């Protein structure tokens, strides 16, 4: 059964509101924009706004959810073969989506945008990448050494990290790479490890530093394992250091 088409007047009104929000977010954060200010900028009646959204926060969440749904659909539509280096159809699709929605994407990813939106995109791609590896090597154990990046990023994506990382066969977790950020109370590698254990059956090992992790690898890795190092810090040194032990 074909889904009913949305009335053109509704689409036009939402487009005007979204464009207005994107333009205002070039100057200020969404949290500082009022409904009165938005409807005046978009030339839409205040009562009309409330036919579509409850407030600015709900509107922003709705816009982001629509974009994330389309990104997820693009990812699913272009399955990646890890044996091939061809990911251009997916990349092209994502760039086309961004171009089609350039104003709101520019606002969301700009200086007054919503960092959580970018982090959710990263979570989608991370989840998909790990699933591709698991599907491509069903008879091999996927072992991941993960170094979280930034306290703020770890805090914002804590739930996603727990669910995504909980899908690997063996997870080696270390402390957060701060990238000049100050620590956030309660946001650390140990708590992330505990969170992953609470939502999955993943085999998680926490290491305070890379020296401990590298020393433990000979007892952890088995012939045929697929070993990945993931993170934005110096976690990439773990593989070469392990090979140097041989």
Longest dimension (CA), the chain: 71
pLDDT of residue 85: 58
Q: What are phi and psi of 144, to 5 degrees?
A: -120, 130
Q: What is the mean pLDDT of the chain?
A: 89
Contact (CB, 8 A) for 154 and 161: yes
Alpha helices in 43-168 (DSSP H): 46-52, 56-77, 88-100, 102-108, 115-136, 151-156, 158-165
Give the Cα separation of 190 and 126 in Å (integer): 21
Give the Cα separation of 169 and 119 in Å (integer): 24
| pTM: predicted TM-score of the whole model, two decimal places | 0.70
Give the Cα separation of 208 and 73 in Å (integer): 38
Most confident of 47-56, 81-90, 106-115: 47-56
Which pLDDT band holds residue 123 (cuts at 50, 70, 90)? confident
Quick check: 87 pLDDT over 70? Answer: no
DSSP-derived pairing of the beta strands 226-231 and 142-147: parallel
Closest CA relative to residue 27, chosen from 112, 106, 108, 109: 112
Which pLDDT band holds residue 43 (cuts at 50, 70, 90)? very high
List residues bridging with 205 in a β-sheet.
Answer: 172
Residue 184 CB partners (closer than 8 Å, separation 6+): 151, 152, 155
pLDDT of residue 4: 53
pLDDT of residue 1: 44
Contact (CB, 8 A) for 231 and 147: yes
Q: Is 43 left (phi over 0), alpha (psi -120 to 50) or beta?
A: left
Contact (CB, 8 A) for 171 and 141: no
pLDDT of residue 143: 95
Give the Cα separation of 195 and 96 in Å (integer): 36
171-215 tens-digit pLDDT: 999 999 998 899 999 999 999 999 999 999 889 999 999 999 999
134-157 tens-digit pLDDT: 888 888 999 999 999 999 989 988
């Amino acid at each position: 059964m074909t889904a009913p088409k949305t009335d053109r007047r509704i689409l036009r009104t939402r487009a005007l509101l979204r464009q207005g929000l994107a333009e205002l977010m070039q100057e200020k954060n969404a949290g500082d924009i009022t409904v009165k200010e938005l409807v005046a900028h978009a030339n839409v009646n205040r009562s009309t706004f409330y036919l579509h959204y409850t407030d600015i926060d709900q509107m922003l969440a709705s816009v982001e959810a629509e974009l994330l749904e389309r990104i997820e659909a693009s990812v699913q539509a272009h399955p990646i073969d890890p044996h091939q280096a061809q990911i251009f159809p997916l990349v092209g699709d994502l760039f086309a989506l961004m171009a089609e929605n350039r104003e709101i994407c520019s606002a969301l990813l700009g200086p007054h945008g919503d960092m959580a939106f970018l982090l959710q995109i990263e979570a989608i791609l991370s989840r998909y990448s790990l699933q591709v590896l698991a599907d491509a090597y069903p008879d091999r154990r996927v072992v991941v050494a993960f170094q979280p990046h930034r306290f703020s990023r770890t805090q914002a994506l804590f739930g996603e990290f727990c669910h995504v990382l909980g899908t690997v066969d063996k997870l080696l977790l270390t402390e957060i790479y701060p990238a000049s950020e100050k620590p956030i109370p309660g946001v650390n590698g140990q708590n992330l490890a505990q969170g992953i254990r609470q939502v999955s059956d993943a085999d998680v090992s926490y290491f305070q530093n890379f020296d401990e992790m590298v020393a433990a690898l000979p007892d952890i890795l088995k012939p045929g394992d697929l070993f990945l190092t993931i993170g934005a810090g110096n976690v990439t040194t773990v593989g070469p250091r392990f090979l140097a032990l041989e």
